[in-house]
Structure 1
Amino acid sequence: MKVEDWKWRYLILVFDCSMTFGCYFNIDIISAVQADIQGQDTGPCMNISSNATCCDGCMGLGPYRYNQLYTAYSWMNALFALPGGYMIDRIGNRVSAIIVTSMATIGSVLFAVSSMEGIRGSTAMFPLMICGRLLIGAGSGSSLIVQDRVVAFWFKDRISFVYGFVIFALRVGNVSNYLVTANIAKTYGIRWAFWTGTLACVIGVISAISLAVVDYYGTKQLDDDCKINMKALPVSRKDIRDFPVTYWIVCLMIMSYYSSYLPFVGNGTKYIQDRYGYSKTTSSYFTGAIYDTSVVTSPLIGSLLGAIDCHGMVLFAVCIFTLPVFPLLSYCPELHPLILTVWIGISYTFAGVCLWPCIMIVVPKKAIGTAIGIATFVQGLGIGLTNLVTGKLLGFTEDPNRESLIHKYQTMLWLLLGMLLFCTACSITLNIFDLSKGRLLNRRLAKKNAKEMKTFVDEKSSLMTDAPSVQSYVSIDASSSDLIPGIQ
């Protein structure tokens, strides 16, 4: 039986998507309660004056140490991605899925313990938080590599369509965090909000075990050729050196695009609260609208991109579409923040559904884990550095002067705009290389060229008895069964 003939493969997709739910619930859990993590503990609200800000049970980290939590996550995500991707390519998806989700669960436990009575406010609190974020970073990045390898094997015939649902599942984790965490913290306290994150990670472990079982059963139903393709194969340094230029450009785009919006997501709740005057909970909802939009639109966008089949051009259009957002956030407070976060959500979803499948298109199947690991490494370094600079710009403690604080936020937004401009330049370069060498990322244009070439050859064949066959001018793309121009 061929892979595409096994109807139960969509059950694998369900477990593959839910496996990363806990990781993505915890990535931005600190953003949902940013004010509680940064603010100083004031004690019971009844003991403070009416003009002071109440922050009962707050952790007192300040903006700089708060952003260090994101940096720890991003850099560990990056550092673990390279050996993690290589390890996953060697030992396979099943065992890897259980290991990496278990790591994220242990990290969420450590982070939740840091907020417990007796530890919160002590010298052990911040190191525990950092250790928790490091383990969450190691588990989250590697779980994405496993997830992408599963998609690449079981759904190679429908990668763009299926990846829309993968992005949908990831955003469900983000959205659940922004909808639930702030309310739990407000009602029951911040420690129970963090233990909710641990529960979400446990769901991911259960899904990983289920994925391993169904994947094992499904593989037994396949014919021998498919089983051989499923086996983990060694990846050499020569394989990495042979990655095309377009792959490395995609890596830079992933790094710069995610570095332009993730630091805003991390600081967006407090920015909206300070800039527009909304409450902590409402500001969390508005920031979470980025992911709400992604949940609603990602399956549709995945189907649309599958029909367009022109990833390179779409990425350029997405960069141009995103550029006005950060200047509007900086200088147009009369524009409702919800409009801008929805705008970011739409553009980000297009970018996410486009960028990662590009890797699966341009690199060999056996090296997908390593290729995604390298991309995740570059991405994590960029995001971590951007968060570190953001923390420096916002200061070690919260600025009580509103005008000075807004100016710091505007400087941060200009930094993010610079990252997006770099991504736009990379998208132009990507299309130049792709259009000149095979058009793997712009297949619709390749198909159009092939049809024109076929028409030309047919016309010549009617006049010349010795005309060469069409096959000498075009080659078959085995993954899509469409004619594309032959690569000279």
Structure 2
Amino acid sequence: MAKPAEKAFYRFLVLFFNCLLTFGSYFCFDIPSVLQDQFQGNLTCPNSTVTNGTVECVEGLGMTPQEYNLLYAIYAWTNAVVVIMAGFLIDKLGNRFGVFLFSFLTVLGSAIFALGSHFKGTEYLLPLMLTGRLLFGSGNGSLTIVQNRITAFWFRGKELALAFGLTLAFSRLGSVLNFFFTQKFEADFGIQWTLWGGTFLCVLGFVAAIVVSSLDKVGMRQLGLDGAIQEESRKVKVQDLRQLSLRYWLLVLTIMFFYNGIFPFIADASKFIQDKYSGYSQKEAAYIAGAVYDSSLVLSATVGILIDYVGRRGVFALSCAVFTLPVFAILAFTFVPPLVSTVWLGVTYSFAAASMWPSIPLIVPQATLGTAMGLATSVQMIGIGLSNLIVGQILGTKSSDAKIPLWRWQRMMIFMLANTVSCIITSVLLNIVDHRQGGTLNKTTKKSAAEQHASPPDREPLLEGEEGQEEDASANSPSVNSS
């Protein structure tokens, strides 16, 4: 008789609670984007007036654009440093260690961030909020690695792209609800209670961590794999990093350049829409900016099923970059309604996330997957952090609430274009190298399920030259991402 852990319902139950791990943290991550006017608003507004439906003076925390973008940059930098060590520790000590530690850090970081908002107008505001974002980034980026590692273990050789897509959809549900409800909640209760509400959602993520940890532990014991994976984990060494293939690094660079054009744009999208296009309130601008996540939420599962069925992950990665290229040109040089561009960007983002991140388990073994994911996330966050700083410099640093000139926004979009072009270059190189080394990433799937056998997750070789037939079997299996 089959054990519960061997049945499909069990792995999807694990997936459900695994998805909830980052729901609250993704909600918290983009709260500053929705409330950018409040973060950069005046400390007091004694004589605020309303002109054409727009409030002339917005009361807020008094941050400059540079300080505001630093909230995102320090999150990215922290991820870049911490996730490398975190991925290695997860491989060595296991998923349960990581899921508790990093979900707790998201709670602690979001609490300190919320606490900092009570010190507006003082010298403690920025240090407290940066400390909160630092701890929050340490937890959230690393938590995503654990989440991906759990997903890869339970769905390898099965519905992996679908599972990654659903994980992304749940995370983006948090982002979408943030864009829909945060501005109204802040208007009713103030910025302090809004930030504490985000902390409460992170607490719910910690509860989900307890549940998924228990399910993972029980399931692995039922499958008789707990001891074997622990034995493999003890063999993981830092020296293994030198053996990661060129194909892996090209995939990592492709991910970094693509996300460099997504997250820094979303961080400033609400204010961009208000500054460039007439007639948009802060609430409407937030909705339009959030359409990137809306599209991702709606499409992620469907796109995951499609990629599970079709394969061709390298081709999808290249196509995503090519089709993203016109988005920033339209935003920079035309007055086409911004919703067109944000929905468009959401579609390409959905395909990119479902094709790029699930490709990593194809070319690294399960025992070192956490380390590989950590390195990929680290490089991604280094790029995003630098991009946030560059965007902050492009947009100017002197005034906290003035309208930013259009030429500055155009320069920002040109910078986004440059990142997308770089993504196209690296994805072309990725496809060339992959083709020369057997075409693992671009193999079609669902050819003949009866003839395909997934390789044991902890026995897949690390070196390109050692892959052979085991890698081909893994690539041909019916399955196969923020940060």
- Output the TM-score relative to the length of structure 1: 0.88
Distance 1:310 1:399, change over 3 A: same
Equivalent pair of 1:233/1:366 in contact (CA under 8 Å): no
CA contact (8 A) 1:273 1:280 kept: yes
Taking the TM superposition and a 5 Å limit, the aligned residue runs for 1:318-333 are: 318-333=320-335
Task: Provide Cα deviations, 1:357-402, integer angstroms capped at 9, x if missing partner.
Answer: 1111111111100001111111111100010011011111348885
The 1-side partners of 2:221 and 2:402 are apart by 65
**1:132 equivalent in structure 2:** 132
1:109 to 108, 111, 123: 111
Query: Compared with structure 1, are the counterparts of its residues 73 and 252 closer, same or farther at alpha carbon in structure 2 (3 Å cutoff)?
Result: same
Q: Secondary structure at the match of 2:290?
A: helix
Given the alignment of the two structures, is residue 299 of structure 1 paired with residue 301 of structure 2, yes or no?
Answer: yes
State the Cα deviation string for residues 70-126 of structure 1 (Å, max 9, x = none): 10100001110111111111111112101101101111111111112xx11111001
How many angstroms apart in 1 are the aligned matches of 2:220 and 2:49?
Answer: 66
For residues 8 and 311 of structure 2, the distance between their equivalents in structure 1, rounded to whole angstroms, comes to 25
Secondary structure at the aligned position of 2:474 is classed as coil
Q: Relative to 1, partners in 2 of residues 1:196 and 1:331: Cα closer, same or farther, differing over 3 Å?
A: same
Contact 1:86–1:373 (8 Å) recurs in 2: yes
Amino acid at match of 1:378: V
Are the aligned partners of 2:49 and 2:57 in contact in 1 as well (CA < 8 Å)? Answer: no
> Which runs of structure 2 are paired with 1:281-292 in the superposition (5 Å)?
281-292=283-294
SS of the residue aligned with 1:60? coil
User: Measured at CA, do residues 189 and 393 of structure 1 come closer, stay the same or move farther in structure 2, by a change above 3 Å?
Assistant: same
What is the root-mean-square deviation of aligned Cα atoms in Å? 2.3
1:416 is displaced (CA, Å) by 0.8
* 1:257 counterpart residue number: 258
Report the residue type matching 1:155 in the other structure.
F
Paired position in structure 2 for 1:233: 234
- Give CA deviations for 1:171-201 in whole Å, capped at 9, x if unaligned: 1111111112111111211111111110110
What's 1:58 paired with? 60
Q: Secondary structure at the match of 2:123?
A: coil
Q: Quick one: distance in 2 between partners of 1:338 and 1:212?
A: 40
- Code of the residue aligned with 1:7 in structure 2: it is F
C-alpha separation between the residues in 2 aligned to 1:112 and 1:57?
A: 17
Give deviations 1:150-170, integer Å, cap 9, x for gaps: 011111022112111111111
Cα distance change, pair 400–110 in 1 and its aligned pair in 2 (3 A): closer
Cα deviations by residue, 1:222-274 (Å, 9 ceiling, x for unpaired)? 13x57513663332234222211110001111111111111100000000011
Cα distance change, pair 17–230 in 1 and its aligned pair in 2 (3 A): farther
Shift of 1:318: 0.9
> What is the CA deviation profile of residues 440-468 of structure 1, one whole-angstrom value per residue up to 9, with x for unaligned ones?
101129979xx9xxxxxxxxxxxxxxxxx
Q: Which amino acid aligns with 1:125?
A: L
1:479 aligns with 2:463: no
Which residue in the other structure is 2:272 paired with? 271
User: Percent of pairs identical after alignment?
Assistant: 37
Letter of the structure 1 residue corresponding to residue 86 of structure 2: G
CA distance in 2, matches of 1:55, 1:33: 14
Aligned equivalents of 2:351, 2:417: Cα separation in 1? 18
CA offset digits 1:312-360 (Å, max 9, x no partner): 0111111111100001001111x11111100000001111111111111
Q: Quote the residue 2:100 is aligned against.
A: 98
Q: Identify the match of residue 318 of structure 2 among 306, 316, 323.
A: 316
8 A Cα contact 1:286 1:337, kept in partner: yes
Bigger mean CA offset, 155-164 vs 408-417: 155-164
Q: Distance in 2 between matches of 1:399 and 1:134?
A: 23
* Kept in 2: contact 1:31–1:265 (CA 8 A): yes
1-structure distance, mates of 2:303, 2:60? 40
Distance 1:482 1:346, change over 3 A: closer
Deviation of the 1:207 alpha carbon: 0.3
- Amino acid aligned to 1:89: D
State the partner residue of 1:37: 39
Question: Alpha-carbon deviation of 1:57?
Answer: 3.5
2:152 is aligned to 152
CA distance in 2, matches of 1:138, 1:77: 6
Separation in structure 2 between the aligned mates of residue 54 and residue 63 of structure 1, nearest angstrom = 18
Mark the CA change 1:91 to 1:329 in structure 2 (over 3 Å): closer, same or farther: same
1:18 aligned residue: 20
Which structure is larger by alpha-carbon Rg, 1 or 2? 1
Q: What is aligned with 2:220?
A: 219
1:480–1:421 distance in 2 versus 1, CA, 3 Å: closer
Decide whether aligned partners of structure 1 residues 72 and 400 sit closer, same or farther in structure 2, where only a CA change above 3 A counts: closer
CA distance in 2, matches of 1:178, 1:474: 47
* Deviation at residue 4 of structure 1 after TM alignment: 4.8
Q: 1:444 to 1:226 in 2, by over 3 A?
A: farther
Q: 1:447 to 1:186 in 2, by over 3 A?
A: same
Letter in 2 for 1:423: C
* Greater mean alpha carbon deviation, residues 52-61 or residues 148-157: 52-61
Q: In the aligned structure 2, how far is the partner of 1:374 from the partner of 1:295?
A: 26
Unaligned residue ranges in structure 1 (runs of 5+)? 452-472, 484-488
Does the CA-based 8 Å contact 1:90-1:233 persist in structure 2? Answer: yes
Question: For 2:57 and 2:96, how far apart are their aligned partners in 1?
Answer: 45
Q: Residue 40 of structure 1 aligns to which amino acid in structure 2?
A: N
* Gaps in structure 2 of 5+ consecutive residues: 452-467, 479-483
* 1:79–1:377 CA contact under 8 A, matched in 2: yes
Greater shift, 50-59 or 379-388, is seen at: 50-59
TM-score (normalised: structure 2): 0.89
In structure 2, C-alpha distance between the alignment counterparts of 1:110 and 1:42, rounded to whole Å: 23
Listed as ranges, the matches of 1:64-463 within 5 Å are 64-116=66-118, 119-157=119-157, 158-223=159-224, 225=225, 227-229=227-229, 232-277=233-278, 278-333=280-335, 335-398=336-399, 405-444=405-444
State the AA in 1 paired with 2:136: I
